[in-house]
Chains A and B, each alone.
Chain A
Amino acid sequence: MSFGQREFGGIDYMTGYRIIALLLIAAGLTLVPWYALQDSFYDFKWIAKFGGKDFAPALIQIANYGKVWLILLPALLLATVGLYARPVNTATAVEGAVRSWAKAVAFIGAAGALYILAQGFAISSQGYAFESLKAMMPEISGGQFGMGAGALLVGIGFILICADGIATMGYFRGDRFIASALLCIVVLIVMFVFFPVMRILYEGILDENRGWSITALWERFGQRKLWNLVPGCLWGGSGCGVAWNTLWLALLCATGTTFMGLMLALIVTRSNFRGKKLLRLLTVLPIITPPFIVGLSLIMLFGRAGVVNQFLEFAFGIPQTRWIYGLPGVLLAQLFAFTPVAFLVLIGVVEGVSPTLEEASQSLHASKWQTFRYVTLPLMAPGLANAFLVGFIESIADFGNPVVLGGNFGVMATEIYFAIVGAQLDQGKAAVYSLILLAFALFAFWLQRKATARKSFVTVTGKGDTGLPSPLPDGVRRAAIGVGVPWLMLTVVLYGMSIFGAFVKVWGRDNTLTLDHFAKAFSIDHGPHGWLFTGAAWHSLSNTLQFSLAAAPLTAIIGILSAYLIARTTFKGQRAFEFLTLLSFAIPGTVIGVAYIFAFNVPPIELTGTGLIIVLCFVFRNLPVGVRGGIAALSQLDKSLDEASTTLGANGATTFRRVLMPLMKPAIVGALIYGFVRSMTTVSAIVFLVSGDTEVATTYIIGRVINGDYGVAIAYCSVLILIMVIAIVLVQWLVGSRKLGRRTAIAVPAMTPVVAAG
């Protein structure tokens, strides 16, 4: 045999892996600060103060500053080195010796990683965090703050060692890459999705004195404000419980969007309507639209100073009303915002109905209406259920529209917001509201999964289905056109107005054209010290861009890697892993935001106020789409490609990089674009997480909206849309799609059907 395993300067892959893991731990213990720094890590000012109390690495913390409990970590490192120095010789070892050696390695790795977390939770800034520990454990002096770079490196190192042990035990076909990728992703998801959500529950149980109390939970849960039921609930009247408001709005919204989405899908696929292309184009708009645009445009149109009201007063003397603020306005805004989502779900379903079946029905003497009623519609039923539940989840998670148009009509998402940022900070209330919202969402998610898991009737064979889709029955066609045309016109008007609104002084009162709003937000002055970005929006815009640009590639990497683990490897608990990666789709943004505050406001992981927490929030909110896109892309690649690579001597990492990644380019582009665009437009999840330093575009816009400064808000929105369009074009052009000699791949489909809850 003339080829060995891949070698780097005489070191094989396995040894290299182990050396990297050990070096990570060693560096984490000796070279970088163990605890989180008050200032930025990246300005490297800590190097000058190296060894100081707040800046010392773990070893010095142990020796000089009484952090004796950290001593276990270097001890575990030495134990690992000891094991690695004496590996079991596979040729001569007795049976089971290798396995028990590997078990020891895995155990030490797991112990190291878990101990870092455990000590972080057990010892807070005032010493032991729990009374029971004080009694059991030796006395310690002082406490500790949030963990920092050192802890991160050591943690990663121990996870890699644990993965090495697991792989050596023979799991994952002995592939270290797969083992460590899986372990890292699981740890990340548990830390940044599962743990924060659990923290909400914990917070809900605490009473005012921060003691455990189930009655506190029960009291908050049973509030009249939540569950009060009066007839007025039906039209959004006052006195109705917030939970009922949310549910009723969601049901109306889901019904409406499903109906309109179906009508639009029928127009596009089954009619010769001329505006088809425009219709398809408009359906992309909501994805790149910041969440307030629709609401703001509706106010301009139907608000007190809106065009319609002014016209009515001018022409017929009808007094201006405020009907738009409340249930009707919010519902209208949601219908406009989420119908395209339903449309994207349903267009695939409608296209998937095999024309042959309809032709069969007609040849059996069924009329057009009978064919539609008894063949087409039942075939689409699972898709309709899916669209309905997507609409439901979108609605209960929506924050932007209710905050703009809600008025006195409160929904859960806005109530949570005001419980956190309002006059009386009520964490318990926010926690319980979040839990109820989460329960609604998970229930809908569960229903959705059940509905889609049912055997789908959709019959896409790829080719050979030569029949013609049967024309729509007249009644259905008229209904579809009757819904579609007004929708189309209103959407054009709404977006047109929003652009117009950016260029007038005060909408409805002073319609003089002006560039003032843009100047206020984006002015650049030339001063004595050079160019100055004096516009009020530059700071938040630059933050938004930085965070989104950081989050997009992370989303793509973790998402595609998770997809690879789900679709291309087999391990116990794979279903659970898949569920975990898709879980955050069902968590409304507001809930995730609240959860992050509760979870990361205190040591051991103290992230509030940093840009990192916003980036993490983006990544884990957008992860499910990356995962789904990746799974879809992988299912189109024959598994024998991986196997060919493996038999030719490539390990998991090489196969992933050289074979799968190049072939998954469209999915990767999709994940990148989606990650970027969603990050740019997210508001509900991060509205609590931003600080003065880390303010982003959407939160800045919210501030302007609340102050009634609509001009600047809309001007800013239009700039955001422009940036996103440029970014999409740029990514497509940069990454491109390599010619495979057959069809050229289409880049965007991965992002279409799943527009996660705002």
Chain B
Amino acid sequence: MTSPTKGTLEFINVVKDYGTGEPAVKGISFRIEDGQLVTVLGPSGCGKTTTLRMVAGLELPNAGQILLGGKDVTAQSAAQRNVSLVFQSYALFPHMSVMENVGYGPTVRGTKKAEVESKVNDVLKLIGLTGYEKRLPSELSGGQQQRVAIARALVLEPAVLLFDEPLSNLDTKLRRRVREEIRELQQRLQITCVYVTHDREEAMAVSDHIIVMDRGSVAEAGTPHQLYFQPRTAFVADFLSEANVVKGHVVAFENGKATLTLGDSRFDIAADSATVGEAKIALRPDVFEVTTDATVSPALEATVQKCAFVGKGVELVVDTAAGEMFVFLPKEKIVREVGSKVRLTFPADEARLIV
């Protein structure tokens, strides 16, 4: 691990309990390196927004430590912390012009007026809003409002920039563009960003790293690639790729290869480690091939329960001896009849043993 620099953010066993039964955040630890964009991803109520608010200083943890740039900021208030938050609702001050909104931070921190103006102009130029200085927020479009919100956060040159579901108030078409803009800006400024969302596609598209949260704990953390292809937990496998999680039985393990029985068939799959006995296996919907050729082996016998053509492919729900499976066949055009018998195969390195 490198030594912490300005934008390094670290959580050590942080707990937040509102005293309403279960704690919102149950002792989480993670470390975000300087200059990275890290997404906190999870279903609603998983504690991701609480985590973000604790970074911002809007909530103070009940236990644990928050380190920013290597310094303990746990007890610092939001006003003292060198972080800025872009709010989900943007929270632009409706009675202030774009100039006043963006200049608010420097102004309340006692910067001279001329300096404030030049800073604001720089940031507006950066974000592409030059010429809108006099407008009120209500006179801007949704996308422009969000840029003002980002400019207002950026003008303070924060060590960490926080985004709370920044795309949720935009229509679908704008979303892709804005998320690309955010990523592009982040790369240009080399600024640490923490980004909260519940949309897995959005998370994978923008992040260097993803922290997946589940019921107040960190389920798993890693690069989008790692989490998508090599999940370690059933939750992440399901949440990120809608993988089928089925029960099997490991009968042998050697040289990075596990042998397991799934239903009546025996498969060899790639694994770093495995113990002989009951095991859970994650199989993404898109790893399967479907055949009716009885000679292909090993294969899983399956009965088609549902079948739908969805344009970019065919979705199948099949019944197997290992349980029900959801199968997605890209490029497939044939709709199979309900009740027909098929055989499922998958590559050895696409099945994952998970906990």
In the complex formed, the residue of A with least CB distance to B71 is: A91
Of A76-84, A250-258, A585-593, A737-745, the one with at least 4 CB within 8 A of chain B? A737-745
Q: Does A132 contact B (CB under 8 A)?
A: no
Identify which of B85, B109, B111 contacts A647 (C-beta below 8 A).
Answer: B85
CA distance A713 to B107 in the complex (A): 55
Identify which of A175, A644, A659 contacts B85 (C-beta below 8 A).
Answer: A644
Please tell me if the beta carbons of A173 and B60 are within 8 angstroms of each other in the complex: yes
Please tell me if the beta carbons of B79 and A644 are within 8 angstroms of each other in the complex: no
Identify which of B87, B104, B111, B138 contacts A742 (C-beta below 8 A).
Answer: B138
User: Interface residues of A, CB < 8 Å — how many?
Assistant: 33
CA distance A748 to B94 in the complex (A): 21
Q: Does B106 contact A (CB under 8 A)?
A: yes
Q: A1-B82, A6-B110, A658-B108 are in contact. Are A648 and B152 (CB under 8 A)?
A: yes
Q: Does B88 contact A (CB under 8 A)?
A: yes
Q: Does A638 contact B (CB under 8 A)?
A: yes
Q: Does B95 contact A (CB under 8 A)?
A: yes
Least CB distance from A739 to B in Å reads 8
Q: Does A312 contact B (CB under 8 A)?
A: no
Residues of B within 8 A of A640 (CB): 87-89, 91
Contact with A along B71-98 (1 / 0, CB 8 A): 0000101111111110111011111000
Residues of A within 8 A of B137 (CB): 741
Q: A646-B58, A647-B57, A647-B58 are in contact. Are A741 and B156 (CB under 8 A)?
A: no
CA distance A19 to B88 in the complex (A): 40
Please tell me if the beta carbons of B156 and A648 are within 8 angstroms of each other in the complex: yes
Least CB distance from A79 to B in Å reads 26
Contact with A along B46-80 (1 / 0, CB 8 A): 00000000001110100000000000000101111
Q: A641-B91, A662-B95 are in contact. Are A5 and B85 (CB under 8 A)?
A: no
Secondary structure class of chain A's binding surface, majority of residues: loop
Please tell me if the beta carbons of A175 and B156 are within 8 angstroms of each other in the complex: no
Identify which of A5, A650, A663 contacts B95 (C-beta below 8 A).
Answer: A663
Identify which of B75, B78, B79, B89 contacts A638 (C-beta below 8 A).
Answer: B89
Q: A643-B91, A663-B95 are in contact. Are A6 and B78 (CB under 8 A)?
A: no
Report A653-679 residues with CB < 8 Å from chain B CB: 654, 658-659, 662-663
Q: Does B201 contact A (CB under 8 A)?
A: no
Q: Does A3 contact B (CB under 8 A)?
A: yes
Please tell me if the beta carbons of A643 and B136 are within 8 angstroms of each other in the complex: no
Residues of B within 8 A of A3 (CB): 105-106, 109-111, 156
In the complex formed, the residue of B with least CB distance to A739 is: B136
Q: Does B157 contact A (CB under 8 A)?
A: yes
Q: Does B139 contact A (CB under 8 A)?
A: yes
Please tell me if the beta carbons of A741 and B136 are within 8 angstroms of each other in the complex: yes
Residues of A within 8 A of B156 (CB): 3, 648-649
Please tell me if the beta carbons of A741 and B58 are within 8 angstroms of each other in the complex: no
Q: Does A470 contact B (CB under 8 A)?
A: no
Q: Does A465 contact B (CB under 8 A)?
A: no
CA distance A507 to B110 in the complex (A): 68
Q: A7-B110, A741-B136, A741-B139 are in contact. Are A649 and B87 (CB under 8 A)?
A: no
Please tell me if the beta carbons of A6 and B94 are within 8 angstroms of each other in the complex: no
Please tell me if the beta carbons of B94 and A663 are within 8 angstroms of each other in the complex: yes
Q: Does A142 contact B (CB under 8 A)?
A: no
CA distance A644 to B101 in the complex (A): 10
CA distance A152 to B3 in the complex (A): 55
Report A132-170 residues with CB < 8 Å from chain B CB: 170
Least CB distance from A637 to B in Å reads 9
Residues of B within 8 A of A173 (CB): 60, 77
Residues of B within 8 A of A643 (CB): 56, 58, 78, 85, 87, 91
Residues of A within 8 A of B153 (CB): 647-648
Residues of A within 8 A of B111 (CB): 3
CA distance A640 to B52 in the complex (A): 14
CA distance A651 to B110 in the complex (A): 12
Please tell me if the beta carbons of B89 and A649 are within 8 angstroms of each other in the complex: no
CA distance A644 to B94 in the complex (A): 12
In the complex formed, the residue of A with least CB distance to B107 is: A658
Please tell me if the beta carbons of B95 and A648 are within 8 angstroms of each other in the complex: no
Q: Does A231 contact B (CB under 8 A)?
A: no
Known: A6-B110, A645-B108. 18 other contacts (CB 8 A): A2-B157, A4-B109, A5-B109, A173-B60, A646-B57, A647-B83, A647-B85, A648-B79, A648-B84, A648-B108, A649-B79, A649-B105, A650-B108, A738-B95, A740-B94, A741-B136, A741-B138, A741-B139
By a beta-carbon cutoff of 8 Å, the part of chain B in contact with chain A is: 56-58, 60, 75, 77-85, 87-89, 91-95, 104-106, 108-111, 136-139, 152-153, 156-157, 159
Q: Can you report 30 A-B residue pairs in the complex whose CB atoms are below 8 A from each other? A: A3-B111, A4-B109, A5-B79, A6-B108, A6-B109, A175-B77, A638-B91, A640-B91, A641-B93, A643-B85, A643-B91, A644-B92, A644-B93, A645-B108, A648-B84, A648-B152, A648-B156, A649-B108, A649-B109, A649-B156, A738-B95, A739-B136, A740-B94, A740-B136, A741-B94, A741-B136, A741-B137, A741-B138, A741-B139, A742-B138
